[in-house]
Amino acid sequence: MKIESGDLVMPGDFLAVSEQFLPGQGAYDDEGFIKSTTSGNVYINIKSKEIEVISKSGGPVLLKKGDIIFGQIKDLRGQRALVDIQIKKGCSREFALPYKAAIHISQVTKGYLDRLNEAFRIGDIIEAEIIKVMGDNVDLTTIEDNCGVIKAMCTRCRNYMKPSKRNELYCERCNHKEKRKISSNYVE
């Protein structure tokens, strides 16, 4: 059966052979056979020799380099902060599967950082940029001013903290101060 632009396909349906087209969005190469990853309509770009499947529901949310995400710090281990990614900025759909990520200490701030707990604490909500996605390994950075902690709680009394000066948060309840890599988008 010959597939044409506009045809409705389901996941796993045969679209073409790899000698004819390159797999685009919503398609993959399975040992020389290009198949659909999602249900939707086929779109064939003759000029670029690419075949893709456009999902009517938008398909699953996928992460790529340059995307901005919101996540929560789950653990600080040596030189890496482990993050549960909650949502992709500008996207209202939830992830089909949970994404885990890491921020290396060299990707936290422009200058030198001695210890990760000077930038993050477990439970902090952060905004970060994706710098690499390899399978289910996602690497993040918070070097830019709009990236970093956007909401944090005091480690003493668990009250939400407010920025007091650059990279320092202040708790109004117990007067405790803590260092963080604060985003320019911090939510008070």
In order along its 188 residues, the chain shows pLDDT tens digits of 688 899 999 989 999 999 999 998 888 888 999 999 888 899 999 999 999 998 877 666 778 899 999 999 999 998 999 999 999 998 877 777 778 999 999 999 998 999 999 999 999 999 999 999 887 789 999 999 999 999 999 999 999 999 988 889 999 999 999 999 999 999 98
What are the angstrom distances between the C-alpha of 167 and each of 99, 115, 118, 124, 178?
Answer: 27, 14, 9, 14, 8
Q: What is the pTM of this model?
A: 0.71
Q: Are residues 42 and 98 in the same domain?
A: no
- The answer to whether the beta carbons of residues 160 and 166 sit under 8 Å apart is no
**Per-residue confidence (pLDDT) for residue 58, from 0 to 100:** 66
- The answer to whether the beta carbons of residues 154 and 174 sit under 8 Å apart is yes
> How many domains are contained in the chain?
2
Q: Are residues 44 and 92 in the same domain?
A: no
State the number of CA atoms in the 13 A half-sphere of 84 facing the CB.
Answer: 10
Residue 90 resides in a domain = yes
